[in-house]
Amino acid sequence: DTEVTQTPKHLVMGMTNKKSLKCEQHMGHRAMYWYKQKAKKPPELMFVYSYEKLSINESVPSRFSPECPNSSLLNLHLHALQPEDSALYLCASSPLGQANTEAFFGQGTRLTVV
């Protein structure tokens, strides 16, 4: 299984809603990532988890709250988002401790905040 699975694929939410994005991988990767990608821009790193612990937070607003319940799952909890948060949210995973290891990406969740 070489897939990273993200759900939902599409999400429309109001600015007062609370929702969660989910990501799952069964490749045994111990690093997992959240990226945000706006149209015609490259992915921007938001969070990195290694061994289920938050390693990097790229100064992301607190309305985005990541969670890593176990080595296969990564969630992104959303609350009180703004319309400018509308974007493609990509989850990725990679092995740790190996040189030249690429990240595998999920298909993303296309989020629209109304």
Chain residues that interact with other proteins, rule: CB under 8 A: 31, 33, 41-45, 48, 50, 55-56, 88, 90, 92, 94, 96, 99-108, 110
Q: Between residues 21 and 90, which has the closer beta carbon with respect to other proteins?
A: 90
Residue 49 three-state SS:
strand
Beta pairing class for 31-37 and 87-94: antiparallel
Q: Between residues 1 and 99, which has the closer beta carbon with respect to other proteins?
A: 99
In the complex, the smallest distance separating the C-beta of residue 109 from other proteins, rounded to whole angstroms, is 11
Q: Between residues 92 and 111, which has the closer beta carbon with respect to other proteins?
A: 92
DSSP conformation letters of 79-102: ES--GGG-EEEEEEEE-SS-TTPP
Distance CA 102, CA 100 (A): 6
